[in-house]
């Protein structure tokens, strides 16, 4: 595996691959890698000649400085894992390399970016669009892989790709990988106290149990029921729970409004912000 810390190294590696008619799979990550990331890498490995993984804690997508400061960084372990996964190139730049000057671009991400994470984390999706558009430009992937854990992010990236001339890149959505007890894998899970880690699976449990309630409860009643159940645990506090159209990300009013509405939730578990989602299949 090659490690590139500078943009020109990445670009010349990619130039060479493209000259040789190789397909390129890109997996953007912020490191502190786990099985969720690995599932994206494994899929990229199967579907492409060359796999590029970026490891970069992107400051412009953090609206909370404390979150940026405490975000786990485990480069040594990450490199070992990437090597074992058969990755061809790890791109691990510094913030100075990516942003020698401030990136002042504002993306018109439309309605998909104004609700939920977009409403709670001002500037977050614009920061995501900034870094992913740069990575698309330099890595020129055939396919790029993203996890459905960040369900809204995928819609935002599809929109960014459409408006920024990357419509030829295949955006591949990969299913959520969970711990045996149902907790969605997340780099932030290491920040949970043992007590809170034991309660955190209640989030997925409440979502899963709610799948059977769509015949008895309206959308609003179900939202209330799930929120109450999760909030009944001392260390859990729901920030939002919205049931949305999986294309537009706009809230649905009735189960029949759109096929396969998705319930997107954010919960504080102590001071750790966890996100998850579930599909109410029609
Ligand atoms: P991050 O390093 O958290 O920015 O995540 C990098 C990519 O991995 C994003 O596309 C995430 O959606 C994806 N990802 C993170 N956690 C999981 C998970 N538990 N299952 C599937 N994909 C995930």
CA of 15 to the centre of ligand 1 (A): 27
Q: Are 269 and 143 in contact (CB under 8 A)?
A: no
3-state secondary structure of 136: helix
Ligand 1 neighbours by CB, cut-off 6 Å: 29-30, 36-37, 39-40, 146-147, 149-150, 174, 176-177, 184-187
3-state secondary structure of 243: strand
Ligand 1 atom closest to the Cα of residue 33 is 2
pLDDT in tens, 9-26: 999 999 999 999 999 999
Ligand 1 atom closest to the Cα of residue 30 is 2
Ligand 1 atom closest to the Cα of residue 176 is 20
241 bridge partner residues: 265
Q: Which helix (H) or strand (E) holds 35?
A: helix 35-47
Give residue 146's pLDDT.
99
CA of 82 to the centre of ligand 1 (A): 15
CA of 218 to the centre of ligand 1 (A): 31
Give residue 216's pLDDT.
98
Q: Which helix (H) or strand (E) holds 11?
A: helix 7-19
pLDDT in tens, 212-258: 999 999 999 999 999 999 999 999 999 999 999 999 999 999 999 99
The residue whose C-alpha atom lies closest to atom 22 belonging to ligand 1 is 147
CA 165/CA 155 separation, integer angstroms = 16
pLDDT in tens, 68-79: 999 999 999 999
Q: What is the pTM of this model?
A: 0.98
Q: What does pLDDT average to over the chain? A: 98
The residue whose C-alpha atom lies closest to atom 10 belonging to ligand 1 is 146
Q: Which residues contact 201 (CB under 8 A, 6 or more apart)?
A: 179, 181, 182, 183
Give residue 158's pLDDT.
98
Would you call 44 exposed, middle or buried from its count of C-beta atoms within 10 A (0-12, 13-18, 19+)?
Answer: buried
CA of 197 to the centre of ligand 1 (A): 19
- Based on the residue annotation, tell me whether 37 is a catalytic residue of this protein: yes
CA 269/CA 95 separation, integer angstroms = 29
Q: Mean pLDDT across the stretch 164-179?
A: 98
Q: Which of 10, 13, 23, 51 is nearest to 168 (CA)?
A: 23
CA 35/CA 262 separation, integer angstroms = 23
Among the listed residues 37, 76, 124, 204, the single catalytic one is 37
The residue whose C-alpha atom lies closest to atom 13 belonging to ligand 1 is 147
């Amino acid at each position: 595996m090659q490690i590139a810390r500078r943009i020109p190294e990445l670009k010349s590696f990619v130039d060479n691959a493209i000259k040789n008619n190789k397909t390129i799979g890109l997996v953007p990550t912020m490191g502190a890698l786990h099985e969720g990331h690995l599932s994206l890498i494994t899929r990229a490995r199967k579907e492409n000649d060359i796999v590029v993984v970026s490891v970069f804690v992107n400051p412009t997508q953090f609206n909370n400085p404390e979150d940026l400061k405490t975000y786990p960084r485990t480069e040594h372990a990450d490199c070992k894992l990437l090597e074992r996964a058969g990755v061809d190139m790890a791109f691990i730049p510094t913030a100075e390399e990516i942003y020698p000057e401030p990136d002042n671009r504002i993306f018109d991400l439309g309605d998909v970016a104004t609700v939920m994470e977009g409403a709670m984390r001002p500037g977050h999706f614009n920061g995501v669009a900034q870094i992913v558009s740069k990575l698309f430009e330099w890595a020129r992937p055939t396919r790029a892989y993203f996890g459905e854990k960040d369900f809204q992010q995928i819609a935002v990236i599809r929109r960014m790709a459409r408006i920024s001339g990357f419509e030829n890149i295949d955006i591949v959505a990969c299913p959520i990988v969970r711990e045996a007890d149902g907790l969605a894998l997340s780099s932030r899970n290491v920040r949970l106290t043992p007590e809170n880690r034991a309660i955190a699976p209640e989030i997925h449990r409440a979502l899963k149990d709610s799948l059977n309630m769509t015949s008895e409860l309206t959308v609003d009643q179900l939202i209330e029921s799930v929120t109450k159940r999760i909030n009944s645990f001392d260390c859990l506090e729901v920030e939002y729970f919205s049931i949305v159209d999986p294309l537009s990300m706009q809230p649905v009013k009735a189960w029949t409004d759109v096929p396969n509405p998705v319930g997107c939730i954010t919960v504080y578990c102590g001071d750790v912000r966890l996100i998850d989602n579930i599909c109410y299949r029609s």
